[in-house]
A and B are shown apart, each in its own frame.
Chain A
């Protein structure tokens, strides 16, 4: 089928005629050729996943649930403004490489880490380059043939993903060039799962769990989106694309998403898209937890656990959950256990350094 690709003026006229809920304008992608635009996408449904067409149909089926009155969650929620706090990391730009899956999943894990820590200023910037040029590449994926979400999140589980500085992203197929100490710099997630019910997507977003990764079908009119609630009006199918869903609005009946096309596209890099449109809410991907590496400050130990196994004791840290006491050797284990037991009994704050969920250094204050 020949691709329609109306010019901007023509597109604006069509939107006006159709009483569309969104506005088109000049964007950083407006001047690109069709081939260059396709390189800004990069989602290919994986084995066992719905096709783009099936996602669109599933979203339509889900529309009734998406439109249902809010029960158990607020009627709107935006992780960029939760009581004035913005838990979403800055807009990035995938450039001319079909690496959207790396950007959509990295943004989701970054936002999840900030939400779970309750810290909107937490330094969270994971290497899309490692995701795409190391992990995806090892699976035969490249800038031209794209990727899908499951293997990217599996990469976050194992081997884990380093910080951006360890392997900075540039657009274009390249070799895996991780920094020498990369194994000490990875952040891992504990698990992930998919959500196919829009009500549960809203519950997740508004429930202190974090953002969601999602994928949808991009048509040519989307490249010129500037503001409003996007719904497909005109233009041919360009391809599949993955982004990070950061909120929703039942009044406008839309999802709020973070794109990876720079801040010069869309609404400062973000967009709103109508419930049930383009397969956006067929399936979304949720990150269950983060095995964090880094310092935690001014925390309280509120629970202890031990079992009949060698050097296996954990503490429950208020607001974070269970953390394992370092089992590196007997004296380390017992010193740390003694200090943390005291911290709990005396209700004293602790600062500690953890590596993938295991406490390695403790201050009791």
Chain B
């Protein structure tokens, strides 16, 4: 059975900036400052999308299937490789939806969000 996706449309657009693959599994940036800037499209499979707002959330009774709606970008699926990771990412997305504060996220070639900062 094909995996379900959110169907409600959100604004689409792109704001992607490239960044080298990070090996260290710990946060590396500091709170919003000059380091957080609106990105531009660039090549590469790893892309950081910075200073975004979350305007929608979606989930369904399917295994590891949760998405967040990014204003100006559209629906993005949260990484589905691990139970605890998808729940943690969903928690951060929900918080960002509520606070309407800046989000930076890393999108991989699979189109999913694999890493996220919420400020």
Contacts and interface: CB of A to CB of B under 8 A. Distances in A.
B partners with A:
yes
Nearest to B90: A306
**Taking each of A309, A314, A334, which has the highest tally of chain B beta carbons within 10 Å of its own beta carbon?**
A309
A338 B26 CA distance: 19
Contacts of A334: 84, 87
B38 interface: no
Given A307-B114, A307-B115, A337 B88 contact: yes
Contacts of A304: 92, 95, 116-118
Interface in A294-335: 302-314, 316, 322, 324, 330, 333-334
Contact of B85 (A303, A306, A322): A306
B26 A322 contact: yes
Nearest to A311: B84
Contact of A308 (B30, B31, B81, B92): B81
A324 B92 contact: no
Contacts of B99: 344-345
Given A316-B31, A333-B84, A345-B98, A306 B26 contact: no
A305 B25 CA distance: 11
Task: Report whether over half of chain A's contact residues are helix, strand or loop; otherwise say mixed.
Answer: mixed
Nearest to A313: B88
Interface in B66-119: 79, 81-85, 87-89, 91-92, 94-95, 98-99, 114-119
B119 A303 contact: yes
A335 to B, nearest CB: 11
Nearest to A307: B115
Given A337-B91, A338-B91, A341-B92, A308 B117 contact: no
A324 B26 contact: yes
Given A304-B118, A307-B115, A314 B26 contact: yes
Contacts of B30: 316
B82 A306 contact: no
Interface residues of B, number: 26
Interface string B5-22: 000000000000000000
Contacts of A305: 27, 92, 115-118
A338 B92 CA distance: 9
Nearest to A341: B95
B27 A308 contact: no
A306 B117 CA distance: 7
Interface string A334-352: 1001100100110000000
B31 to A, nearest CB: 6
Contacts of B81: 308
Contact of A345 (B26, B31, B95, B116): B95
Given A316-B31, A322-B27, A344-B99, A310 B85 contact: yes
Interface string A90-118: 00000000000000000000000000000
A309 B25 CA distance: 8
7 contacts: A302-B119, A304-B92, A304-B118, A306-B85, A306-B92, A308-B85, A309-B82
Interface of B: 25-27, 30-31, 79, 81-85, 87-89, 91-92, 94-95, 98-99, 114-119
